[in-house]
Amino acid sequence: MKEIFEILEQNGRATPEQISTMVDKPVSEVEKIIKQAEKDGTILKYKTIVNWPKLGEEDIWALIEVRVAPQRDVGFDAIAERIYQFPEVYSAYLVSGTYDLALLVKGKNMQGISSFVTEKLAPLERVQSTVTHFLLKRYKENGETFHLPKEINKRLPITP
Amino acid sequence: MLNTKSAPTQARDNLISQKVTNLPPSGIRKFFDLLSSVEGVISLGIGEPDFVTPWHIREAGTYSLEKGYTMYTSNSGMPELRQELASYLELRYGLSYDPEYEILITVGTSEGLDLALRAIINPGDEVIIPDPCYVAYPANVILAGGVPILVPTGEENNFVVRATDIEAHITKQTKAILIGYPTNPTGAVMSKKEADAIAGLAKKNDLLVISDEIYARLVYGVEHICFPSLPGMKERTILISGFSKSHAMTGWRIGYVAADRRFIQALTKIHQYTMLCAPAMAQVAAIEALRNGESEVEKMVQEYNRRRRFMVKRLNEIGLPCFEPKGAFYAFPSIKTTGMNSEEFAEKLLLEEKVAVVPGTAFGPCGEGFVRCCYATSLPNIEEALKRMDRFIRKSRLKSE
Ligand SMILES: Cc1ncc(COP(=O)(O)O)c(C=O)c1O
């Protein structure tokens, strides 16, 4: 069953028929498992990885370290929730170490990100400090490599 | 016709040895030349992994160069590598080989095969080989001065050689049985029962067994039977294997032989005069492969298995009946219903639909009526290739009607 999700994670467009052959299970069973997973949140969404720079569109990204004061009873969750609801926040994590929240923030330009930090994030009551790192280049994301080396056919066309 | 012969060949016509002159050229070579003349081919003819060697192994190789591992190693191979192999064979198959005297590191499985045959064959000794088989087996036997005796196998037994058929070919000259399961080109694996029967025969007739287990890790839903692990077989089996297929390391040229001390001593004698040692960088990489490569091997096997199921199902659907291959990365469908022979089929398929498969006859006369399709290529490639093959078969049926 896990294998079905591994295949879909690699290729969201794999059809139940193709998957059924690959995992050697009836199509109806594969369809049932996928339907169920879509319903119960095992499969959250099907997305496409777009190489935006290829279209000349490049968002500005920043990694922001945030130190916050935890709250009685709810710990970091309440403040995290206040922060991650901002649409600028692409990913948010609670981390161990010298700061508490790690945010991946997306903006149209540098101006956009700095105003998010200075006007929305930093003024929040429980936010103690922030450190902003602008991303200069993306090499790999979610297991996918961005700057693919030119495909050269290294194998001989026929070998014993 | 002008005489274009150059002077030396005019002077003597025995420049090349009789043995080599008489050696038939590889059936694959001929196809290779034809293939090079066609553009846009999808090849199901490549008998090697499409994966690049896992990064941690490549990294270990690179590191070995940085650290200056650029000298000869011990003839037998680095002690750490032999130790790792001994532990590996113990863990996987319960076999205990002494890393000092019973394991030899070679330049690929290919060198191991050559050494084993040269070490045991006296002129005229016969070596029994199931047909079809890996292209190098008969040639290696001939080069070692022996006589290859092909024992037919077929569809009816899923291309596994039967002990009774072997027995029928045993003569006073028979020295060894050379087998390779899982098999290139058929993908056949041997069951415990079939292996036991051959082991019994070897003992009864005092024969050696050379077991090429290079595809041992690529099995699907079955346990690999390691031949020397059968009762009484360790002392009469020369186990040959390597890292090419399991760890996608074909270009590194690294393999090994495990056998009783008497054999390893003899093989090492030839190896030290002809090869000195296997590449140092590849040995360091192989150590890393054994220590930390398991999860990568499993990932590749899982991927091959998906492609295997896909290819076998499609072959059967398009009317090329194919038994279920449970090992290696080959399917061996029958093309008999098309009315063509293997070479004709492969050639026409290449020229008309630009898909390369290898005619079964490249692997021996019993390969007639079959072609080898390798699924060590991406799923989209396999999908497209089968679409083209489907079209090719429909067209040829229409034409013949
Ligand atoms: C059955 C068999 N034995 C041996 C070899 C050669 O392996 P190596 O790369 O270890 O020399 C191959 C390669 O295709 C093979 O298929």
Domain shared by B267 and B153, yes or no: yes
Q: What is the CATH number of the domain that holds B392?
A: 3.90.1150.10
User: The dihedral of CA B341, B343, B344, B348: what is its sign?
Assistant: positive
Q: What is the CATH number of the domain that holds B117?
A: 3.40.640.10
Rounded Cα distance between B172 and B252, Å, is 40
The number of C-alpha atoms within 13 Å of B60 and in the hemisphere containing its C-beta is 20
CATH of A52-137, one of 3.30.70.920, 3.20.20.60, 3.30.1330.40, 3.40.640.10: 3.30.70.920
CA–CA distances in Å: residue B16 to residues B8, B25, B37, B137: 12, 14, 30, 22
Is B401 contained in some domain? no
Among A15, A20, A22, A158, the residue to mutate for chain B (most B Cβ within 10 A): A158
| Domain that residue B79 falls in | 55-292
Is B7 contained in some domain? no
Q: Is the CB of B108 under 6 A from ligand 1?
A: yes
Tell me which amino acid residue A102 is: A
Domain map (residue ranges) of chain A:
2-40, 52-137
Q: Is the CB of B242 under 6 A from ligand 1?
A: yes
Q: Which residues of A touch B47 (CB under 8 A)?
A: 159-160
pLDDT the model gives residue B1: 47
Residue whose pair of structure tokens reads 């190098």 in the numeric block:
B136
pLDDT the model gives residue A159: 87
> Which stretches of chain B score pLDDT less than 70?
1-12
Of the three residues B243, B271, B292, the one that is the final residue of a domain is: B292
To the nearest 10°, report the CA torsion of B19, B25, B26, B31: 170
pLDDT the model gives residue B12: 66
* Cα first-last separation, chain B: 46
Among B41, B43, B52, the residue to mutate for chain A (most A Cβ within 10 A): B43
Nearest to A158 among B43, B50, B307 (CB): B43
Enter the tokens of residue B322.
């194919």
A147 pLDDT higher than 80: no
Share of chain A above pLDDT 70, in %: 96
Domain shared by B182 and B271, yes or no: yes
Domain shared by B348 and B202, yes or no: no
Domain shared by B48 and B61, yes or no: no
Chain center to CA of A136: 18
| Contacts of B321 by beta carbon, 8 Å cutoff, 6+ apart | B315, B333, B334, B337
Residue contact B47–A18, C-beta within 8 A: no
Domain shared by B275 and B194, yes or no: yes
Domain shared by B253 and B214, yes or no: yes
Contact B356, B42 (CB under 8 A): yes
Is B261 contained in some domain? yes
Of the three residues B253, B273, B292, the one that is the final residue of a domain is: B292
* Total number of domains in chain B: 2
B131, B134, B186, B332, best to mutate for ligand 1 pocket (most atoms within 8 Å of CB): B134
Residue whose pair of structure tokens reads 């499409």 in the numeric block:
B50
Enter the tokens of residue B58.
């490549």
Q: Is the CB of A160 under 6 A from ligand 1?
A: yes
SS3 A129: strand
Q: Is the CB of B47 under 6 A from ligand 1?
A: yes
Residue contact A159–B35, C-beta within 8 A: no
Tell me which amino acid residue B186 is: T
Computed on alpha carbons and rounded to an integer, the radius of gyration of chain B in Å comes to 22
pLDDT the model gives residue B400: 77
CA–CA distances in Å: residue B169 to residues A107, B134, B151, B159, B202: 77, 20, 7, 17, 13
Tell me which amino acid residue B170 is: I
Domain shared by B266 and B141, yes or no: yes
Nearest to A22 among B28, B43, B306 (CB): B306
Domain shared by B217 and B103, yes or no: yes
Q: Which of A29-38, A126-135, B28-37, B255-264 has the lowest mean pLDDT?
A: B28-37
DSSP characters over A96-118 = SSS-SEEEEEEESSHHHHHHIII
Domain shared by B250 and B107, yes or no: yes
Q: Which residues of B touch A15 (CB under 8 A)?
A: none
Reported as a single tens digit per residue, the pLDDT across B82-135 is: 999 999 999 999 999 999 999 999 999 999 999 999 999 999 999 999 999 999
Residue whose pair of structure tokens reads 């293997």 in the numeric block:
B342
Domain shared by B314 and B222, yes or no: no
Domain shared by B206 and B107, yes or no: yes
Reported as a single tens digit per residue, the pLDDT across B201-257 is: 999 999 999 999 999 999 999 999 999 999 999 999 999 999 999 999 999 999 999
Inter-chain Cβ pairs, chain A and chain B, closer than 8 A: 47
Q: Which secondary structure element, helix H or strand E, spans residue B164, and what is its range?
A: helix B163-167
* Cα first-last separation, chain A: 36
Biggest distance spanned by C-alpha atoms of chain B: 68
Is B6 contained in some domain? no
Biggest distance spanned by C-alpha atoms of chain A: 69
Domain shared by B25 and B157, yes or no: no
Is B5 contained in some domain? no
**B26 touching chain A per CB within 8 A:** yes
